[in-house]
Amino acid sequence: MHDKIISIKNRIEKAAKANGRDPALIQLVAVSKTMSAERVKQAILGGATILGENYIQESREKIEQIADDSVKWHFIGHLQSNKVRYTVKLFDLIHSVDSFKLAREINKQAAKINKIQSILIQVNLGGELTKFGTAKDRAAELAGKISDLPNLSLQGLMTMPPFFNSPEKARPFFKELRLLANQINELQLPGISMNELSMGMTGDFEEAIAQGATLVRIGTAIFGERS
């Protein structure tokens, strides 16, 4: 696992430099959904410092078993309102906020434990009905409403483009997310920043870095195929 993580980090660095970007501004989120606590521990030993999880039930147990304060946990899956309480307790960053209703619930649960919860807005740029995320033309409005919620810290955007078998095809979506973040930034909404762009997975992270990704979410290239 160590070798795989080193190799991914090298590819991140190379893609950053090829595009005139500082590699230090790009963080690797090791996506550990469906992987056992044992495998995740190996990844941590191998140099993973941020773990990405999709399912609350599964990650609650894993995070408890691993009990390692030196790593950060990011929630990247679809979030249901009734799971928000646990999510806020366990996760440093939630990538998948896509409605005001969900944002309000996160704000409420975060207030209960005196936490400022960091979040991203997930944007569905492909307009696919099977994918979660707010529509592109609703994202700025959602950001505006979120800026009124005191226990949320909105830090940027996340997207998952439609699946393509060649990474270049994802490029326009990555670019679109960056431009959308710029537009929202120009609104100068109080208390929000658009510094983070969560985009790029195993098959296309170098394209995402070329378009400005700051968080790449990589599972398969680290852990192998999920069964």
Ligand X SMILES: *Cc1c(COP(=O)(O)O)cnc(C)c1O
**Interaction site with ligand X (CB under 6 A):** 31, 33, 54, 76, 160, 201-203, 217-220
Beta strands in 32-173 (DSSP E): 50-53, 72-75, 93-97, 117-124, 134-135, 152-159
We find the least distance from the C-beta atom of residue 148 to ligand X, in angstroms, to be: 27
Minimum distance, C-beta of residue 76 to ligand X, in the bound complex (Å): 4
54/147 with CB nearer ligand X: 54
Whichever of 33 and 89 has its CB closer to ligand X, that residue is 33
Chain residue whose CB lies nearest ligand X:
219
User: Which residues, other chains included, contact 25 with Cβ-Cβ below 8 Å and sequence gap of 6+?
Assistant: 16, 214
CB of 122 to ligand X, least distance (A): 8
Question: Minimum distance from CB of 4 to ligand X (Å)?
Answer: 12
CB closer to ligand X out of 31 and 119:
31
Contacts of 87 by beta carbon, 8 Å cutoff, 6+ apart:
56, 75, 79, 94, 106, 109
Of 87 and 189, nearer to ligand X (C-beta) is 87
Contact between 48 and 4 under an 8 Å Cβ cutoff? The reply is: no
Residue identified by tokens 């989120």 is 29
Entry field: residues in the chain: 227
